Structure 1
Amino acid sequence: MSLCALPKIDVTLYQPHALHGAERAWAETNCYIDVWVEVLHAQGLNPLACLPMVFANDFDGDQWTFYKPPHEDLFALYGIDVQELNVWRGLLPNACEQVRRGRLVLTESDAFYLPDTSGTDYRTNHVKTTIAIQEIDIAAQRLGYFHNSSYHELHGEDFVETFRVGKPVDPTFMPLFAEFVRLDRVQRRDESSLAKISLELLHKHVARRPEQNPVRAFEPVFLRDVEQLKEDGMAAYHAYAFATLRQLGAGFSLGAQYLRWLEQQGQGDFSIAAHEFEQISDTTKTLLLKTARAVMGKKAVDLGPLTAQLASHWDQGMAALDSSLHKGD
């Protein structure tokens, strides 16, 4: 018997949201926001509205903010209620109970057993990532889940290992974090109403942005780290780039697209700010590639001009965003 939180999804027909389109500079951002983009999209809800939190992104010493849509924002925008799942019976029985009740389950999972990561982590690396469970069929050992930029299925041994089916009780095993998503109060607002609520959230998150330019704080740390990465090699570079450059560039790419949408809904003129944040995305993409070459070639490369451009775009973008939000005050 198959349990589904949403109406059954045909994995061969599923079309990801445009935020995950092939033409985007950053096809994937981080596992949590990517999951939410597709979870909302699959219900006919616009995920752009939940993106204003990216403007509070900061450099936190050894990483850029791993940004996530706050639960209170999801409730305000869509009526979606997210609560922690107490995995006291084990992930499979607890997830089955929630899916049976029409609730999605978001859980940390091991990418080693996720076939959609073929070519990167599947059967190669044990990496924590977040999936959203939509369908469970215990008899068929099949799982339908949202992950990264689309909707997927896994079967057989991957199902067994993901849920530790038949494994003996191991007192040292620590269950991964999980949440359940209540959908019984979902609000399907028109775009104009959604944008008005989202604009209020934008004010909140812009007020929480770093007091000082975070790119300038990042610059000396980054330039020092690149020299160490030349010694540590490409595996270390990929982990570093995900924690820093990808979160910086992809976050402001989403922010720019969000502002363009807000403008389309008549909530203000955000064209200058959106342009500056698009420049952060583009410049970070260039920096990502040049850093990779520097690490592989172990040669001296002057990356300072690019980080200086990033800092300037952050200043100008935030100034323009402030001006747009407070026009007429």
Structure 2
Amino acid sequence: MPRVRSLPIDAKTYQRHALHADDVVWVEKNCYIDVWIELVHAAGCDPYAMLPFCAAIDFEVDQWTFFKPKHEELFELYGIDVQELNLWRPLADHVAVHVGAGKLVAVEADAWWLPDTAGTDYRAQHTKTTIIINDFDLEDKRLGYFHNASYHALEGEDFDKTFRVGVPTDPAFMPFYAEVARMDRLVKRPKEELVALAKVHLAKHLARRPATNPVTRFGEALAGDLARLQAEGLPVYHAWAFATLRQLGAATELLAQHLRWRGDDVAVAAAEDLHAVSAGAKTLILKGARAVNSKKPLDATALFTDMSAAYDRAMQRLAAG
């Protein structure tokens, strides 16, 4: 089976998007939005336009919304059509034919076999994540894939384990969830068209925003959760912090970056408030780790008061503007 590739990019020379630059507050956001930022960028489109959905995030009792770009908006903005991929045969067979047809395949994967996670998950712990496959070579066992903040390559045993090459058929094996992204109707719109569409999308997501301040509710929950987190230790804290503080901080930073890209006065003012929320979440993730490790109290009342007020100001500005 010959090598197939959708986008003409190479892991050795790939330049990641500015949303993943080292100087942002949250370089890695979550596994799904990260790969879509880079896919849209690699396709020659502008990922800033797809970020209004971040306005609707909420605190969902024990986690913040695991925010994802909306498929219908990806199509409206860029002509990228995303559908579920029915894995009725081995994943490698599906990837070969779909990437060979100019599509990309998004699939959940085990980070144990992803070398770009060296130092964290690679060959260290089994963690479910999402990759988008762009370059597939079954004969030479090489893969080019988007993951986290960039575009990477893997080969050899990592390839075999990712695609279960040589593993006997197991009727009890449940395949990971997968999607296919069709690129044949790709549209590269000028900024003014993207801004107009993004304003429509933002109005829709603002209408879905939480009825009460979710930052305030989160602060109240943390006050009750801290003792449990201190008892369970840092590994549980890090999982909790990813589900809560990282999602809050990354989503508000992305929305702020979208609004700065938009550039009008109301948007820029709201962006400043959202940046304050994001920076506050980063401060809390560090303070929380110290409190859990030391078993000492954490008084975050003043910080949550400031973050809650900044969230309210941002939402009020956007709703009025």
Q: Same-fold call, TM > 0.5?
A: yes
Moved over 4 A (4+): none
In the alignment, what sits opposite 2:312? 315
In the alignment, what sits opposite 2:5? 4
Where 1:153 maps in the other structure, the secondary structure is: strand
Per-residue Cα deviation, 1:283-319 (whole angstroms, up to 9, x for no partner): 1111111001001111112122212221111111111
- Structure 2 runs not aligned, ≥5 long: none
Where 2:266 maps in the other structure, the secondary structure is: coil
| Residue pair 1:223, 1:304 contacting (<8 A) in 2 also | no
RMSD: 0.9
| Residue pair 2:266, 2:318 contacting (<8 A) in 1 also | no
> Whole-Å Cα distance in 2 between the matches of residues 272 and 189 of structure 1?
26
In the alignment, what sits opposite 2:194? 194
> Whole-Å Cα distance in 1 between the matches of residues 298 and 68 of structure 2?
33
| Residue pair 2:10, 2:144 contacting (<8 A) in 1 also | no
> Whole-Å Cα distance in 1 between the matches of residues 219 and 24 of structure 2?
26
In the alignment, what sits opposite 1:298? 295
In the alignment, what sits opposite 2:84? 84
In the alignment, what sits opposite 1:212? 212
Aligned AA (2:108): E
Aligned AA (1:144): G
Where 1:270 maps in the other structure, the secondary structure is: helix
In the alignment, what sits opposite 1:272? 269
Superposed, 1:167-206 pairs within 5 Å as 167-206=167-206
> Whole-Å Cα distance in 1 between the matches of residues 300 and 245 of structure 2?
13
> Whole-Å Cα distance in 2 between the matches of residues 300 and 226 of structure 1?
8
Per-residue Cα deviation, 1:232-290 (whole angstroms, up to 9, x for no partner): 11100110000000000110000001001112xx5x63122111000001111111110
Per-residue Cα deviation, 1:115-158 (whole angstroms, up to 9, x for no partner): 00001100111111000000010111001000000000011000
| Residue pair 2:107, 2:176 contacting (<8 A) in 1 also | yes
Per-residue Cα deviation, 1:153-178 (whole angstroms, up to 9, x for no partner): 01100000000001011111100000
Identity %: 51
Aligned AA (1:137): D
In the alignment, what sits opposite 1:327? none
> Whole-Å Cα distance in 2 between the matches of residues 200 and 132 of structure 1?
28
| Residue pair 1:107, 1:176 contacting (<8 A) in 2 also | yes
Superposed, 1:14-53 pairs within 5 Å as 14-53=14-53
Superposed, 1:204-283 pairs within 5 Å as 204-263=204-263, 269-283=266-280
- Structure 1 runs not aligned, ≥5 long: 325-329
Aligned AA (1:272): A
| Residue pair 1:86, 1:178 contacting (<8 A) in 2 also | yes
| Residue pair 1:137, 1:143 contacting (<8 A) in 2 also | yes
Aligned AA (1:319): Q
Aligned AA (2:214): P
In the alignment, what sits opposite 1:163? 163
Where 1:51 maps in the other structure, the secondary structure is: helix
Where 1:64 maps in the other structure, the secondary structure is: coil
> Whole-Å Cα distance in 2 between the matches of residues 181 and 89 of structure 1?
18
> Whole-Å Cα distance in 1 between the matches of residues 137 and 239 of structure 2?
34
